[in-house]
Chains A and B, each alone.
Chain A
Amino acid sequence: GQSLEQPSEVTAVEGAIVQINCTYQTSGFYGLSWYQQHDGGAPTFLSYNGLDGLEETGRFSSFLSRSDSYGYLLLQELQMKDSASYFCALDRAGNNRKLIWGLGTSLAVNP
């Protein structure tokens, strides 16, 4: 089977940097995705790692290490609007993107 673990809550202050870790167990996958969700609204895509290493998209970066079964999402220059839940999800590439989700990390950004 497949499972993912992430911290349930993280707190940080505006302007800081925060890292949300994700460890996983799987028999096979193609990539690790990250989604953001505000107050139970529509999840929105943030980043995807199909290969090991760092992917950078503006203030957000994501990292994957397949040998360590580990990834993380790095958020820089935190803003209040970044307060949300962040989910890592195992992605099976190809034509059918199923996504197996972690439980989510609730990020609170304080002034």
Chain B
Amino acid sequence: EPEVTQTPSHQVTQMGQEVILRCVPISNHLYFYWYRQILGQKVEFLVSFYNNEISEKSEIFDDQFSVERPDGSNFTLKIRSTKLEDSAMYFCASNGGGAGGTGELFFGEGSRLTVL
């Protein structure tokens, strides 16, 4: 069964460092997302991406963050100059696209980021 894969599963970094989280969405999906979940809290929308550009972003997704689809399969989230409060689980998700239907999002297992 097709699945969304994310790497790394866990990354520890020093405050101020840059991190890149990688995702391989389901191959025929068209819409890609990054969500964040701070430990014990709700899942928060960061950004959606379609047709090689950001379609929507939240207030959380400030200039510190960027996304890229460098090739036909990878979808990356870059966090520049990490802060302690960036420590969270970052989930990538994809969707087949199109109006109607259930709009089911398929999530990866997440990348846990710990900023020290």
> Does A43 contact B107, Cβ atoms closer than 8 Å?
yes
A47: nearest chain-B partner, CB-CB = B102
Please list 24 pairs of residues, one from A and one from B, whose beta carbons are closer than 8 Å in the complex, sorted by A's number.
A33-B102, A35-B43, A40-B110, A41-B110, A42-B107, A42-B108, A42-B109, A43-B43, A43-B91, A43-B107, A45-B102, A45-B105, A45-B106, A48-B103, A50-B100, A93-B99, A95-B98, A97-B48, A99-B43, A99-B105, A101-B44, A102-B42, A103-B41, A104-B42
Complex interface: chain B residues within 8 A of A40 (CB) = 37, 39, 89, 110
Contacts of A33 in B (CB 8 A): 102-104
Q: How many A-B residue pairs have CB under 8 A?
A: 74
Asked if B99 contacts A41 (CB within 8 A), the reply is no
Interface residues of B (CB under 8 A from A): 4, 31, 33, 37, 39, 41-45, 48, 50, 55-56, 89, 91, 95, 97-100, 102-110
B-chain residues with CB within 8 Å of residue A104 when the two chains form the complex: 42-43
Q: Are B48 and A98 in contact (CB under 8 A)?
A: yes
How far, in Å, is A97 (CB) from chain B's closest CB? 4
Q: Which of A37, A45, A97, A100 has the largest number of chain B CB atoms within 10 A? A: A97
**Known A-B contacts A42-B108, A97-B31; A103 and B42 likewise in contact (beta carbons under 8 Å):** yes
